[in-house]
Amino acid sequence: MGTVTLGVSIAVPEPYGSQLQELRAGFGDAAARCIPTHVTLVPPTEVETDRLPAIRAHLAEVARAFPAFPMRLEGTGTFRPLSPVVFVRLAEGAPGCTRLQGEVRDPEGPLARELAFPYHPHVTVAHGISEEAMDRAYAELADYAAGWLCEGFALYEQGSDGVWRKLREYPFGTGAPGVPGVPAQPAPPAGAAVPRP
């Protein structure tokens, strides 16, 4: 049985996602074109391919019961010297992300795993590049700000080329991908007249 490398994340929506991806590329981060701009919920995790159905079912169940929450990016931070990363800070939405990743990584679930570092939601804008370039990223994005309503997350797979590709979206409030959380409408009784719009 083969394996796949998966990740679960909240995509930064447009136009902000592309803006930050272009800026990351401009700082010299070669990984920028391979990684959609995101807030990580589950970092790269290698799993057996036969676990995919259980993982998809688990993610749908988490999404079905989770409410939308506001997110706001503001300013920069860094994990240096512990880790060579510069990021845009999450000024609003961190508690929602923390709770969500905890449910996705439920110790009893199919994506249970330990983390190398304590969970800290953020948007990476420079990783593993020169100190000078990371200093520039930190300074140039110090005044960056963006906000949106987080309404779901997605499952990604890393290809053999290193590129992360979306496998499926999981909107909050529904188990069906791509369908907003609209309650099911009861069918009219047999023989009843259906009003015209």
SS3 per residue for the chain: CCEEEEEEEEECCCCHHHHHHHHHHHCCCHHHHHCCCEEEEEEEEEEEHHHHHHHHHHHHHHHHCCCCEEEEEEEEEECCCCCCEEEEEEEECHHHHHHHHHHHCCCCCCCCCCCCCCCCCEEEEEECCCHHHHHHHHHHCCCCEEEEEECEEEEEEECCCCCEEEEEEEECCCCCCCCCCCCCCCCCCCCCCCCCC
Query: What are the tens digits of pLDDT across the range 119-157?
Result: 999 999 999 999 999 999 999 999 999 999 999 999 999
**pLDDT of 163 strictly over 50:** yes
- Report in angstroms the alpha-carbon separations of 47 from 111, 113, 166: 9, 11, 16
Query: What are the tens digits of pLDDT across the range 20-52?
Result: 999 999 999 999 999 999 999 999 999 999 999
Going by C-beta distance under 8 Å and a sequence separation of 6 or more, which residues neighbour residue 157? 4, 5, 6, 7, 164, 165, 167
Tokens coding 70 = 């506001």
Confidence (pLDDT) at 147: 98
**pLDDT of 195 strictly over 60:** no
Confidence (pLDDT) at 184: 32
Any idea which of 6-10, 42-46, 127-131, 191-195 has the lowest mean pLDDT? 191-195
Report the chain's mean pLDDT, rounded to a whole number: 89
Tokens coding 90 = 């999450």
Rounded mean pLDDT of 98-124? 94
